Chains A and B, each alone.
Chain A
Amino acid sequence: MIAIQVILVIGFIFLFWRFLANPGSHQVHAWIKILTFLFTVLAIIAVIFPDTANRLAHAVGVKTGANLLLYALTLAFIFVVINIYTRGKEDERRRVVLVRKVALLEAQLLEKNK
């Protein structure tokens, strides 16, 4: 089980820092595309050759291909959640700037018309 444990732990830490620290950077967007592409390719391969998942699983020390898929899915899910969270925060930041600007402009306008 050692190989998969190392891969998973490194995967978790990498995703966590990478994406939480640089929300919305070009690198992150590029990684999203690369990972989406990789997942699609792997999914197609797994569908056409059901045995590949099993063989890959054995190679990294996991019992069955289904387990390996679950691990990959968990990683992907965490990645998606973190991405949504950071994107939400970024949106919030922009919204704050905008709403504040409107409030200040409105107040200045009212004062001028007094």
Chain B
Amino acid sequence: MNSDTYAIIPVYNEASAVGDVIKTVKKTYKNVVCVDDGSRDNSSQAISSSGAILLRHSINLGAGAATQTGIDYALMDPKAKYFITIDADGQHDIKDAQQMLEYLIKNNLDIVLGSRFLGTAQNISTIKRLFLKLAAMFSEGTSGVVLSDPHVGLRVFNRRFAESLKLTMPGFAHASELIHRIGENNFKYAELPISVTYSDYSKAKGQSMMNAVNITVDLFHHRISKK
């Protein structure tokens, strides 16, 4: 059952949501890798009791680092061909991921990203919509890759992309870094509409707008630093 595909879920304080997410994903994909990014709640227990592979960061490093750790683990399996990243809060629909994967294989692409703007996003606030639009413009300007929704958590990619990824920015700036990688290596990419459901829970936890400032400064520093 899809043993060449790995679903990677970065988890941070999602004990109440992650169990159900894993259960749903496991129905379709055998290999589910969860990276508990130093959660202070019972996320680790929730993950191990649900039967997913558990990787634990002893301290919180951020979504980018957690995603990369999951990818590193999946890459150790030489049979791993396809990779899916999905958020732990249950906002994504695994059926979308399946469609994205089929699309990737059919069109021989390197990466397919979900887009909340091409699809039907429920409960998304105007201010968040505006913020994400601005993020899209910023990422287009810096990487040359045209995407309607660069900060999406649902992505599907092949091994070639996974191997080249090597995310170095631990926090949320990793989304921009990932897109930069597409531009750098001329990977074949596409965007497919996905539906997202923002529960009150995930809204409360979502990226704060002020974090955009942090991301911008971090990216700037990253670009000019030689390492």
Q: Which A residues contact B (CB, under 8 angstroms)?
A: 17, 20-23, 85-86, 89-90, 92-93, 95-96, 99-100, 102-104, 106-108, 110-111
Beyond the given pairs A20-B225, A93-B227, 18 more chain A to chain B contacts, judged by CB atoms under 8 angstroms and listed by A's residue number, are A17-B224, A20-B221, A20-B224, A21-B224, A85-B221, A86-B221, A89-B225, A96-B61, A96-B168, A96-B170, A102-B58, A103-B35, A103-B56, A104-B69, A104-B73, A107-B53, A107-B56, A108-B76
Other-chain residue from B55, B58, B225 in contact with A86 (beta carbon distance below 8 A): B225
Contacting residues, chain A, for B68 (C-beta < 8 A): 100
**B224 proximity list for chain A (CB < 8 A):** 17, 20-21
A92-B170 in contact given A21-B224, A86-B225, A103-B35 (Cβ < 8 Å): yes
Do B59 and A106 touch across chains, with their CB atoms under 8 A apart? no
**A contact residues around B41 at 8 Å (CB):** none
Q: What are 27 of the A-B contact pairs (CB < 8 Å)?
A: A20-B221, A21-B224, A21-B226, A23-B225, A23-B227, A85-B221, A86-B225, A89-B221, A89-B225, A90-B227, A95-B61, A96-B61, A96-B168, A96-B170, A99-B59, A99-B61, A100-B68, A100-B72, A103-B55, A103-B57, A103-B58, A104-B55, A104-B69, A107-B54, A108-B76, A110-B54, A111-B53
State the main secondary structure of chain A at its contact with B: helix
Chain B residues touching A, majority SS: mixed
Residues of A within 8 A of B227 (CB): 23, 90, 93
- B residues near A (Cβ < 8 Å) are 35, 53-59, 61, 65, 68-69, 72-73, 76, 168, 170, 221, 224-227
Q: Which residues of B contact A85 (CB under 8 A)?
A: 221
Pick from A86, A90, A100 the residue with the most CB of B within 10 Å: A100
Q: How many Å from the CB of A99 to the closest CB on chain B? A: 5
Once the chains are docked, how many angstroms separate the CA of A1 from the CA of B68?
53
B69 is contacted by which of A17, A90, A100 (Cβ under 8 Å)? A100
How many angstroms between the C-alpha atoms of A95 and B69 in the bound complex? 13
Which residues of chain B have C-beta atoms less than 8 A from A89's C-beta?
Answer: 221, 225
- Select one of B54, B57, B221 contacting A100, CB under 8 A: B57
Q: Nearest Cβ distance between residue B170 and chain A, in whole angstroms?
A: 5
Complex: A95 Cα to B226 Cα, angstroms: 19
Tell me the bound Cα distance from A71 to B170 in angstroms.
36
Tell me which residues across on chain B come within 8 A of A96, comparing CB atoms.
Answer: 61, 65, 168, 170
